Structures are given as C-alpha cells and as structure tokens.
Chains A and B, each alone.
Chain A
C-alpha cells in the first residue's frame, strides 16, 4: 500500500473558525510533511516530522499548528486563518526520517478561507 490519504478533500472555513486537516499513511514511513501549494506554484514546505518529532518548521505562522499523534497520523490544526491562506494543502511521507528520500504525496485538501 503506497497510499497517503487526506481528509477532508475540500474545506471552507471562516476566519474565526477552528478546523483540522488529517493525513494518514500505513507504509511504515518515519517522516511526514505538510506543504502549502498556491495555484500555478510549486509546493512550499511548512513542517516536517521525523520519528514523530517536529524537525523542520519553515517559519509558519502560529495560526497553523501541526500535530503527529503517532507514526501513521499527521494533523494540521487551523485557527484564525486569513483569506490568503486559501490553498491546496498537501501531506507527504517518506521512508527514512533522517535523510532525503522520495516522498509520497496525498491528494491534498483544498482549503478556502472566507
């Protein structure tokens, strides 16, 4: 099973709402990633978890809060977002938590902030 799943597929939220994005993989991968992708742009790295610990935070605003409850799950908690945060949020995983290797991406969550 080489699948990374993400829920929900679409999310519309107001600027005062609190919501969460969920990502799951069952490949035994030890690194998991959150990316933000705006239209016609490449993915931008937000966070990396390695062995369930936060290893990279690309200076992401605190209104985005990641969580890795276990090695298969990754959440992104959203609070007080701005309209400019509307984007496709991609989750990815890779086998080795300690070095670069190929990443497997989920289909993404299309987020719209109103």
Chain B
C-alpha cells in the first residue's frame, strides 16, 4: 500500500522569500503524485501533478515540484511567496495502474509574515 509523509507540520516564511515543502512517499513502483492546497474552510485545489516524464513539474500560482525517485521525494517549491499563499498544503500519492484511491499526507500549514 502507498503512503506519504509530510515531515513539517507548520512552516513560517517571510513574504518574498523562497519556499520548499517536503513530501516523501512510499510505493513499490512509480507513483502518481499530487500537491493540493486548501484555504481555511474551503475545498482542495490541485497545484500540480506528476505521472511520468520530466521530473520537474510546473503548476499553477508559480509553484513547481521535483520528483526524485532515489530519495522517494516530491518536494514543492516556490521562488517568492505571496501573503495569499498562506494555506494548508497536502501531498498525495496514488498507485499507477491501480484504482482511484489517493492517499493524502497529513499536511503542512504555511504561514506568511509581512
């Protein structure tokens, strides 16, 4: 069974600083990987996904993520954070060729300070 770990529960960055959110997955083969963002009281919005191909994936809102098979990681990055990026971020993994079930990490709450 697949699993995903987000080691950072809470991260605080200054507006304009760079951001990296960590995600480690466990799965025997090549996984399907996702990053979602959730603002308070809202649903989840897909930021980006990795299925295959180029390991550096570009997403919406200026986010990118890099799939590193050797490290079982799929870290999310943004070069310059805006105050509106403050939210909860979830990494998720699905089994390639498997059914529709996606497993979510526990989330990282991002706080942006002026």
A residues near B (Cβ < 8 Å) are 4, 6, 31, 33, 40-43, 45, 48, 50, 55-56, 88, 90, 92, 94, 97-108, 110
Contacts and interface: CB of A to CB of B under 8 A. Distances in A.
A103 B47 CA distance: 11
Nearest to A9: B41
B100 A50 contact: yes
Contact of A100 (B44, B45, B96, B105): B96
Interface of B: 32, 34, 36, 41-46, 49, 90, 94-102, 104-107
A45 B43 contact: no
A102 to B, nearest CB: 5
Contacts, number: 68
B100 A110 contact: no
A100 B99 contact: yes
A2 B105 CA distance: 24
B42 A100 contact: no
Given A4-B43, A88-B41, A102-B49, A41 B100 contact: no
A100 B43 contact: no
A99 B43 contact: no
Nearest to B45: A105
Contact of A42 (B42, B100, B104): B104
B43 A105 contact: yes
Given A102-B46, A108-B42, 5 more contacts: A31-B100, A43-B90, A50-B100, A90-B43, A106-B43
A73 B101 CA distance: 20
12 contacts: A42-B104, A48-B100, A90-B43, A94-B100, A99-B97, A99-B100, A100-B94, A100-B101, A100-B102, A107-B42, A107-B43, A108-B43
A90 B44 contact: yes
A105 B45 CA distance: 7
A45 B34 CA distance: 16
Given A103-B46, A105-B45, A45 B101 contact: yes
A40 B42 CA distance: 13
B102 to A, nearest CB: 6
